[in-house]
Amino acid sequence: MNTKALTLLVLILTMFLAVNVMAVQPFGANYTEVKTERAPMDLAQDHEALAGNVTELTVSGFSITQSWQGYFGNVTGTIQLADASDNQMYNWTLASPEGEIYATTDTSVAWVNIACFDLAGNHSALETLFNISSDDVDGVNETFSDAGTHDEFFTNNVQFVAGDCASTSIYDSTGASVDNNFEEVLLTDSSADTQVIFTSILDEEDVAGFDNAYHDFEMLVLEDGHGTNTATTTYYFYVELE
């Protein structure tokens, strides 16, 4: 074999190997908005004041969070074998797929750098970005914990063992999260201290959710609604199916 032919063969083999070791990274997700709601306001209760009286009251009530948006729903999709033009050689339809759903404000995620978000080191900077005070009860480190118990999962061929990342469990039909049915973890591509990728693990399909309807996932994402801020925050959704 001459030198020119050998060089060409090495180039072809190099390209072949490069393609075959490429990780299966999350793809952009398509969605259809079904509905958007918020909790109704309670009516004010009255009390008859009488001059000269002193009255002890025990007052209870609620306010809507100014730091979080919730998403929930169901997932369908396919695993496919296709070329760069999306011509499918074969596909496998998944009625209730497993995997992960990702939401992030980043328009271009560096999936090769995927890692656990440093909750202990970076939650303060993240809270500052969304105007959350350190003593707010609905802060980032009050909602997510490094002592989480999420299941094992994979992102871009990177393994995250059980309890590896900061996580939380969203409420199911019991009004709590005792069974960890809807697990969410915090990831990052390390592009910035405040860059967070909210990740919902799809390991419990068709579970009775917070509204007693059956869902594949529930997720919280940060959104600044403090003070006079009425602007929205754009999130980009990705999905990785198994």
Question: For 144-185, what is each residue's pLDDT tens digit?
Answer: 999 878 999 999 999 999 999 999 999 999 988 777 889 999
Identify the burial level of 147 via C-beta atoms within 10 angstroms of its C-beta, where 0-12 means exposed, 13-18 middle and 19 or more buried: exposed
pLDDT tens for 41-61 read 888 889 999 999 999 999 888
Domain membership flag for residue 103: yes
Asked if pLDDT for residue 5 goes beyond 60, the answer is no
Q: What percent of the chain has a predicted confidence (pLDDT) above 90?
A: 62
Domain membership flag for residue 149: yes
Q: Which two tokens stand for residue 32?
A: 């259809």
Q: What is the pLDDT of residue 180?
A: 81
Q: What is the pLDDT of residue 23?
A: 62
Domain membership flag for residue 8: no
Domain membership flag for residue 72: yes
Q: What is the pLDDT of residue 1?
A: 53
Residue 162 three-state SS: coil
Q: How many Å apart are CA 172 and CA 140, to the nearest integer?
A: 20
Q: Which two tokens stand for residue 167?
A: 């996580």
Identify the burial level of 74 via C-beta atoms within 10 angstroms of its C-beta, where 0-12 means exposed, 13-18 middle and 19 or more buried: middle
Asked if pLDDT for residue 16 goes beyond 70, the answer is no
Q: What is the pLDDT of residue 11?
A: 41
Q: What is the pLDDT of residue 54?
A: 93
At residue 7 the predicted structure's pLDDT band, cuts being 50, 70 and 90, is very low
Domain membership flag for residue 165: yes
- Residues listed for the chain: 242
Asked if pLDDT for residue 131 goes beyond 60, the answer is yes
Domain residues for 104? 64-241
Q: What is the pLDDT of residue 2?
A: 53
Which one-letter DSSP state was computed for residue 122? H
Domain membership flag for residue 51: no
CB atoms under 10 Å from CB of 238, counted, come to 19
Domain count, the chain: 1
> Who's near 226: CB < 8 A, 6+ residues apart?
66, 67, 131, 132
Which one-letter DSSP state was computed for residue 209? B
> Who's near 221: CB < 8 A, 6+ residues apart?
68, 69, 70, 71, 103, 198, 233, 235
Q: How many Å apart are CA 235 and CA 68, to the nearest integer?
A: 13
Domain membership flag for residue 82: yes
Q: How many Å apart are CA 57 and CA 219, to the nearest integer?
A: 37
Place of tokens 């009488």: 50
Domain membership flag for residue 14: no
Q: What is the pLDDT of residue 14?
A: 41
> Who's near 118: CB < 8 A, 6+ residues apart?
188, 193
Asked if pLDDT for residue 18 goes beyond 80, the answer is no
Q: How many Å apart are CA 159 and CA 169, to the nearest integer?
A: 20
Q: What is the pLDDT of residue 22?
A: 54
